[in-house]
Chain A
């Protein structure tokens, strides 16, 4: 069943170095992490003893970990639906421009934040949301609101503020995907709907959205994973504070666990890996079967 042609060896040689490098840089550490997660390693004696799911149980029962999962879920819920809704609506508006030039300019402007790093974005937005000197509170004060929130320093507002940063950085990416997808829908669909007397809103929900289904799934998954890994902009602004309000799983991992309990860190890594991998895999499965339709 395996086809061997004369050039099989050449092909193998072309691919082999990459496989080896991947093995060393990715699979080997992965295996180490799994090993560490299931064994107690005694460095002094050089022994390791199988503890089964002991570490996982400890991690899952740890209140700090549980809290970080809740924070992460909160963050994801704030960012991802907003990204989807805003990017879909904005794409619909952009696509409606008669002059292509404006559409292009708008898309470019939306995409600019995507290429600035999350670190840069975090710093600038921290400046914007600075409680005393930042432009947001200055405007609010000028409008009469004297007791403006302290944003990143407030336990209640810190997470939404950080979510705004994440939203700002990612919006353009989704807009680009949706604009292109919408532009590829044949006009005839809409014309037929016009003849049938469908309103613009009906057309959007009955024609555009269903046809955009694959892209919606893809964007949802990408943004979900990206949001779940939220780290950069949080670490650079609040470091997980105030009092753990923005401590997502990765922040928790790096700040509290990594230096204290390496075994637990590996367990969390494994959990995170399996979770995100499953999500990616489900998306891949869903999209592969879609193609057949």
Chain B
């Protein structure tokens, strides 16, 4: 194990370095937490306070910032409640997940267990797509969406998120591990192909499926470039775009700002903590496969 290796590294130096880096990682979260419960004078009035009073909020139960953000009374929100952004993000992320999963499972199954003319061509195209960053097609796609009148609509925002080449590969690899006998046995029994997919294949790839759903959820939730392009009205903006717009005003109102960031991050952190094993293992495996 690497343990033999590190026992010889300067023990104290390396642990210290690790601690410093961990603190660096956690600093923004700490600052976020500490600022969101402060009122404006607490934040701005830095000079006259001692170190501890300066850092920690006076009253941890001060939810003013959250209230201002959620009801839209914070001046930087122009009357739009932050809940609107959350609602939009939820709709966009969850609704686009469904077609993404369907496409990934069907195409993954088709590539994994069937041969047909054109398979290699299609697969090659898919591989190529994996290497194309979404930003490259965003601008021309925007023109198409605009011409279809889908700007500022949920469908318009969701369109590129409704399918995932990455998911297709993941599922394909998972299905490839399923012995063909199961499928053959079901066919012999006279089961339809969709029945097989649903009742034989799907239960067997459940962990991979869950991993894909979680990763895709997080990925879509955090997307900024495309939703920014495609939305003009504040009412339609997802959380990333709303947050960004909120923060670009001239005067930085840090109390409500950090409160809204907390609201943005909580779902992602919660999901991450619950599915940590899945995500970390899947990234780790893709690293090993390299």
Q: Which residues of A contact B (CB under 8 A)?
A: 2-5, 7-15, 17-19, 21-22, 25-30, 32-33, 36, 86, 89-90, 92-98, 106-113, 115-128, 130, 132-133, 135, 138, 142, 168, 171-173, 176-185, 187, 190-191, 194, 199-200, 203-204, 207-208, 214-215, 217-219, 225, 229, 231-232, 235-236, 239, 250, 253-254, 258, 262, 265-266, 269, 272-273, 276-277, 280-281, 284, 287
Out of B137, B261, B271, name the residue touching A33 (CB < 8 Å).
Answer: B137
The reply to whether B2 and A96 form a contact with Cβ atoms under 8 Å apart is yes
**Beyond A183-B2, A269-B136, is A118–B119 a contact (Cβ under 8 Å)?**
no
B90 at the interface (CB under 8 A from A): no
Determine the chain A residues whose CB is within 8 A of the CB of B104 once the complex forms.
Answer: 18
The reply to whether B28 and A108 form a contact with Cβ atoms under 8 Å apart is no
The reply to whether B224 and A177 form a contact with Cβ atoms under 8 Å apart is no
The reply to whether A180 and B1 form a contact with Cβ atoms under 8 Å apart is no
The CA-CA distance from A65 to B120 in the complex, in Å, is 38
Please count the residue pairs between chain A and chain B whose beta carbons lie under 8 angstroms apart in the complex.
Answer: 321
The CA-CA distance from A9 to B193 in the complex, in Å, is 11
Determine the chain B residues whose CB is within 8 A of the CB of A181 once the complex forms.
Answer: 284, 287-288
B250 at the interface (CB under 8 A from A): no
The reply to whether B283 and A3 form a contact with Cβ atoms under 8 Å apart is no
The reply to whether B140 and A19 form a contact with Cβ atoms under 8 Å apart is no
Distance of A293 from chain B, by nearest CB (Å): 13
Distance of A223 from chain B, by nearest CB (Å): 13
The reply to whether A22 and B269 form a contact with Cβ atoms under 8 Å apart is no
Distance of A70 from chain B, by nearest CB (Å): 19
Distance of B72 from chain A, by nearest CB (Å): 18
Interface of A is mostly: helix
Out of A26, A231, A287, name the residue touching B135 (CB < 8 Å).
Answer: A231
Determine the chain A residues whose CB is within 8 A of the CB of B1 once the complex forms.
Answer: 95, 183, 185, 187, 190
Q: Which residue of B lies closest to A35 (CB)?
A: B140
The CA-CA distance from A114 to B284 in the complex, in Å, is 14
The reply to whether A117 and B140 form a contact with Cβ atoms under 8 Å apart is no
The CA-CA distance from A8 to B111 in the complex, in Å, is 11
Q: Which residue of B lies closest to A7 (CB)?
A: B114
The reply to whether B2 and A92 form a contact with Cβ atoms under 8 Å apart is yes
Provide a sorted-by-A list of 11 A–B residue pairs whose CB atoms are within 8 angstroms.
Answer: A10-B193, A21-B103, A90-B18, A111-B272, A113-B25, A117-B268, A118-B222, A168-B28, A190-B4, A200-B9, A265-B139
The reply to whether B141 and A29 form a contact with Cβ atoms under 8 Å apart is yes
The reply to whether B224 and A119 form a contact with Cβ atoms under 8 Å apart is yes
Distance of B159 from chain A, by nearest CB (Å): 6
The reply to whether B131 and A277 form a contact with Cβ atoms under 8 Å apart is yes
Interface of B is mostly: helix
The reply to whether B2 and A15 form a contact with Cβ atoms under 8 Å apart is no
The reply to whether B129 and A15 form a contact with Cβ atoms under 8 Å apart is no
The reply to whether B18 and A115 form a contact with Cβ atoms under 8 Å apart is no
The reply to whether A119 and B244 form a contact with Cβ atoms under 8 Å apart is yes
Determine the chain B residues whose CB is within 8 A of the CB of A185 once the complex forms.
Answer: 1-2
The CA-CA distance from A191 to B8 in the complex, in Å, is 13
B6 at the interface (CB under 8 A from A): yes
B32 at the interface (CB under 8 A from A): yes
The reply to whether B4 and A187 form a contact with Cβ atoms under 8 Å apart is yes
Closest 8 CB pairs of A and B: A11-B114, A96-B6, A14-B110, A280-B131, A200-B8, A180-B284, A117-B222, A177-B287
The reply to whether B31 and A95 form a contact with Cβ atoms under 8 Å apart is no
Q: Which residue of A lies closest to B103 (CB)?
A: A18
Distance of A66 from chain B, by nearest CB (Å): 20
Q: Which residue of B lies closest to A250 (CB)?
A: B135
A17-B107, A29-B144, A176-B280 known, 4 other contacts, Cβ within 8 Å:
A15-B116, A21-B163, A25-B163, A266-B139
- CB contacts under 8 Å to A, within B244-290, are 244, 247-248, 252, 254, 257-258, 261, 264-265, 268-269, 271-272, 276, 279-280, 283-288, 290
Question: Among the interface residues A116, A179, A200, which one has the most CB atoms of the partner chain B within 10 A?
Answer: A116
